[in-house]
Amino acid sequence: MQGIKYLMNVVFVLLIATAALHTAAAAEEKYRYAEKPWGLDSPAGRCVVCHSLEKNGDFRVAPNLWDIVGAEKARARKNYSYSTALLNKGGVWTAEEIDQFLADANKFLPGTTKSIKVPDAEERKQIIDFLKTLK
């Protein structure tokens, strides 16, 4: 009886592993020919993992960054649950504040849900300069 239970467990594990491999292969096939997100090759390419950079771009995991420099913080309240820290911060995103946020989001805005850190000041400058062009 124990041998049958063991065999059934092995078969079950193999079925789960096969299903997982099939799902991964299907996802890979689906995205193999997908169009790269706009801006991926830009200085702000690291941002497109979560944010769209296009005017009226699709909402991804986080709000669109089109025209973000000078925009009200937490401007897309209908579409996104911002952290209380950002909602309470208020004001507009200046280039200086974006720089501080990119350098260490948690230091700039304790309690934020964003954990980004871009330690290289030149990289942050290039990202911000690029974001300024998105108008």
- Which pLDDT tens digit goes with each residue over 30-57? 445 567 888 899 999 999 989 999 999 8
Domain containing residue 123: CATH number? 1.10.760.10
Residues 64 and 18 in one domain: no
Q: Say whether both 27 and 93 belong to one domain.
A: no
* CA distance linking residue 4 with residue 57, whole number of Å: 55
Q: Tell me how many domains the chain contains.
A: 2
| In-domain check, residue 39 | no
Quick one: three-class SS letters along 45-108?
A: HHHHHCCCCCCCCCCCCCCCCCCCCCCECCCCCCCCCCCHHHHHHCCECCHHHHHHHHHCHHHH
Measured distance CA(88)–CA(85) in Å, rounded: 5
86 touches 116 (CB < 8 A): no
Does 59 lie in the same domain as 27? no
- Is 122 among the domain residues? yes
Residues 79 and 127 in one domain: yes
Q: How many CA atoms lie within 13 A of 72 on its CB side?
A: 8
> Rounded to whole angstroms, what are the CA distances from 70 to 6, 22, 73, 78, 131?
63, 46, 9, 19, 10
Read off the tokens for 110: 């304790």
Statement: the pTM of the whole predicted model exceeds 0.75: no
Let me know whether 108 and 55 are in one domain.
yes
Structural domain for 114, as ranges: 45-132
Q: Which residue has the tokens 């950002």?
A: 86
For residue 40, tell me if it sits in a domain: no
Judge whether residue 19 has pLDDT over 60. Answer: no
Q: Are residues 5 and 52 in the same domain?
A: no
Eight-state DSSP code of residue 39: T
Has residue 24 got a pLDDT over 80?
Answer: no
Say whether both 65 and 96 belong to one domain.
yes
Q: Are residues 26 and 62 in the same domain?
A: no
Distance CA 84, CA 88 (A): 6
Look at residue 118 in the predicted model and tell me its pLDDT.
96
- Domain identity same for 87 and 107: yes
Q: Are residues 115 and 91 in the same domain?
A: yes
pLDDT in tens, 80-132: 889 999 999 999 999 999 999 999 999 999 999 888 899 999 999 999 999 99
